[in-house]
A and B are shown apart, each in its own frame.
Chain A
Amino acid sequence: MALGENQPFVVTKLDDFLKWAQSSAIWPMTMGLACCAIEMMSIVSPKYDTARFGAEVFRSSPRQADLMIVSGRVSNKMAPVLRQLYEQMPDPKWVISMGACASTGGIFDNYAVTPADTFLPIDIYVPGCPPSPDALIYALMQLRREIQAGSKVKVLSANA
């Protein structure tokens, strides 16, 4: 059937279509570790509303999620659990390290806490203690750019 003059259609590459789909429907995992998790929870509240960006459905199973937000300090006892959750997530998957503790250990320079990047590949670090919900949303937007560009390197050079 031939398309009429006013029937809309789009021509695209399959790759671009996939990236568009992935970046517009990010499914974070329901997982809160410490005080940062309180700020993380508020991003899906009506006030901040990440539904605007298609990232409001926190999944309770890692097998249905493609974004892990490490929202708080990770103890040495918890780290293998997080690693297992990460490995249970289907590819492609991304990790946001939220807050000072997850990114560097923060004030907890002690026997119990380890930075998340010692055992997970982190895509985005969000500074702050805790980061404001806006900062986390900015990280989400940055992650969308990263997914659309195909890699972090391309985003960084485009921003430079």
Chain B
Amino acid sequence: MPESISPHPERAALAPLVEALAGAAGPYLLEVVAAEDMDEIALRPEGLLGVVDLARRNGFNLLLDIGGTDHYPLQPRFEISYHLTALPTAATASEPAALRQPNFKAPRLRLRVFDDGEDATVPTLTHLWPSADWAEREIFDQFGVRFSGHPDLRRLLNPDDFTGYPLRKDFPLRGLERRFVPGGRAGAVPPVTET
């Protein structure tokens, strides 16, 4: 096996933690996969907060991004994927020399949360990582997945009065309505209010 794709030592050291995290998901665990790039844990939304809490206490201090996928017509339909990484801090880096090795990689972890239906709801992570705020708003905007406990769950990219969730696979590509019509000129736009 060429050295470049051999699992790096940090990842091997992670195995017990991944096992503990899977245990923290309890009955909501779907599967644990050792994917090529990082370990991933698939679970139901009810188990998310327990797993994230344990991961945070074991060094996973940064939420990289939250993604959404619509697997329609497969069930369960919606997947929300979280990527966590453990940046070394003064408290966790017991051996700073190891961090300076050229092929050191901060460990990463992927959580895939599956839910279904019109009222798919996932607990928010905004109280743990403020950066989750806009990521969750974007997923709500595009997929219609709700985040329970989110302080300000409004649309982010689409107009506030937009109908539907455009990144769902059953959403018509051209949308449900024409907001502006050819030749509309001035009349097609709602009157401008000075602010």
Interface residues of chain A, those whose CB is within 8 Å of chain B, are 76-77, 79-80, 83-84, 87, 109-112, 114-115, 117-121
Contacts and interface: CB of A to CB of B under 8 A. Distances in A.
Nearest to B195: A84
B128 to A, nearest CB: 30
Nearest to A115: B182
B182 A76 contact: no
A110 B182 CA distance: 15
Interface in B43-75: none
Nearest to B166: A111
17 contacts: A76-B180, A77-B159, A79-B180, A83-B192, A110-B173, A110-B174, A111-B174, A111-B176, A112-B166, A112-B175, A117-B183, A118-B182, A118-B184, A119-B184, A119-B188, A119-B189, A120-B185
Determine which residue in B172, B173, B185 has the highest number of CB atoms from chain A within 10 A of its CB, and name it: B185
A76 B179 contact: yes
Nearest to A82: B189
A52 B163 CA distance: 48
Interface string B157-171: 111001000100001
Contacts of B175: 110-112
A120 B183 CA distance: 9
Interface of B: 157-159, 162, 166, 171-176, 179-186, 188-190, 192
Given A76-B159, A111-B176, 5 more contacts: A83-B192, A87-B192, A118-B183, A118-B184, A118-B188
Nearest to A78: B159
Contacts of B184: 118-119
Contacts of B183: 117-118
Given A77-B158, A80-B190, A119-B180, A111 B185 contact: no
B168 to A, nearest CB: 11
Contact of A83 (B171, B182, B189): B189
Contact of B185 (A76, A110, A114, A121): A121
B173 A79 contact: no
A76 B188 CA distance: 12
A118 B174 CA distance: 16
Contacts of B166: 110-112
A114 B180 contact: yes
A77 B189 CA distance: 11
A151 B76 CA distance: 60
A83 B182 CA distance: 15
Contacts of B186: 119
Determine which residue in A76, A84, A87, A120 has the highest number of CB atoms from chain B within 10 A of its CB, and name it: A76
Contacts of A76: 158-159, 162, 179-180
B183 to A, nearest CB: 8
Contact of A114 (B158, B176, B179, B190): B179
